[in-house]
Copies of this chain bind each other. A is one copy, B any other.
Amino acid sequence: MRKAAIIGATGYGGAELVRILHQHPHVSIHSVHASTLHGEPLVKSFPHMQELINHRLEAVNVEKISQEADIIFTATPSGVARDLVPGFLKNGTKVIDLSGDFRITNQEIYEQWYGIKAADQALLNQAVYGLTEWIDMDVTETNFISNPGCFPTAVLLGLAPLVKQQKIDGGSIIIDAKTGVSGSGKGLSQVTHFSGTNDNFKIYKVNQHQHTPEIEQGLKKWHPHVGPVTFSTHLAPMTRGIMATMYMTATEKTATEDLIELYQSVYENDPFIRIHSNGSFPTTKDVSGSNFCDIGVTYDERTNRIMVISVIDNLIKGASGQAVQNMNKMLGIDEKTGIDFMPVFP
């Protein structure tokens, strides 16, 4: 068994890592860390783990963790991993960062959208962007993966075939994204207050969401003439799930059946991507509690537009599930290991 340390175990991303790794056949949880509550059992924060997880929260001791753990997950607020990761890497330990600190390679763009200081350029260059299905290297050879954001995961998996094949006008991309409230984390705010959120639908961070440059960076890697994109985010009164509804102008007349074939062929070896048949579209519950990304695509002759609907569970494929998928690949084991569970419905 390899040993994993989880930094930021009291957040939702950390809790899902604990849940997934608890059932992983080849990796065990070595230690859990947070910035507060040291010495307290993790189950006090998460009663659903009672009798299953006995770990107590520890402070972050970089030397100790890097020596004891085989792999470290950082599921921390913006700016924390930026300062911790160099120490872990120096000791040769594998790191997967679930925060946004290493996703944007360009420091200036990072600082403009995140409003805080970027990580060192050398480190940014070293980080492998972990959109698992589209990593173009042998990740057993890297020690450092930057796990994608939840929205960029849904968006990039949904757009890859069209952008790479230049099926769409690169300037025409409009992404209308909806997320469940767990995407806003466990922290307290009026945004996550039940009475103001239940039975309510909201738009937030209009034209200012920090996942915008991550999406554009990913798309431009596949085709330089893409963007800028319009990316807007809405809060739906539900706990989990992201749906990205995406609108693009087709470069030439096409047919839904052809697009579906393209998607099926592109993703035929990817066990976590499921393509819907003509006229069928995924709902967020179709993937809830699982690592799947379900995609529907359609072409509208009236408007010459292509629509792509991509759904994920924001805490799994959009965070901890994809992180474990990346871990599996880094460790050279089957990418499905420990995350091949079926969605929970209803």
Cross-interface CB contact of A193 among B188, B230, B289, cutoff 8 Å: B188
User: Which of A58-66, A156-164, A278-286 is near enough to bind chain B?
Assistant: A278-286
Cross-interface CB contact of A287 among B48, B194, B196, cutoff 8 Å: B48
Q: Is A232 touching B307 in the complex (CB atoms < 8 A)?
A: yes
> In whole angstroms, how far apart are the Cα atoms of A190 and B23 in the complex?
27
Q: Chain A interface residue count: which class? A: 35 or more
Tell whether A289 pairs with B289 under 8 Å between CB atoms, given A195-B239, A345-B46.
Answer: yes
User: Which of A91-99, A298-306, A320-328 is near enough to bind chain B?
Assistant: A298-306
Q: How many copies does the complex hold?
A: 4
Q: Which of A190, A201, A203, A296 has the most CB of B within 10 A?
A: A201
Is A215 engaged at the interface, CB distance under 8 Å to the other chain? no
Is A140 engaged at the interface, CB distance under 8 Å to the other chain? no
> In whole angstroms, how far apart are the Cα atoms of A188 and B15 in the complex?
22
Tell whether A343 pairs with B48 under 8 Å between CB atoms, given A193-B192, A198-B237.
Answer: yes
Residue of B nearest to A245 (CB): B176
Q: Is A344 touching B19 in the complex (CB atoms < 8 A)?
A: yes
10 contacts between A and B (CB under 8 A): A23-B340, A48-B285, A48-B342, A178-B234, A194-B239, A198-B199, A198-B239, A199-B239, A201-B241, A202-B281
Give me the 9 closest cross-chain CB pairs, A-B, nearest first. A188-B188, A48-B343, A200-B285, A176-B176, A195-B346, A48-B345, A199-B238, A202-B283, A181-B194
Show the binding face of A for B, using Cβ within 8 Å: 12, 15, 19, 22-23, 46-52, 174, 176, 178, 180-182, 184, 186, 188-190, 192-204, 206-207, 228-230, 232, 234, 236-241, 243, 245, 247, 274, 280-290, 294, 296, 298, 300, 302-303, 305, 307, 309, 311, 340-346
17 extra interface residue pairs, beta carbon distance < 8 Å, beyond A194-B237, A200-B238, A230-B247: A19-B342, A23-B342, A47-B283, A47-B294, A178-B236, A194-B194, A198-B199, A199-B240, A199-B285, A199-B288, A200-B284, A201-B236, A203-B296, A230-B307, A234-B245, A289-B344, A341-B341
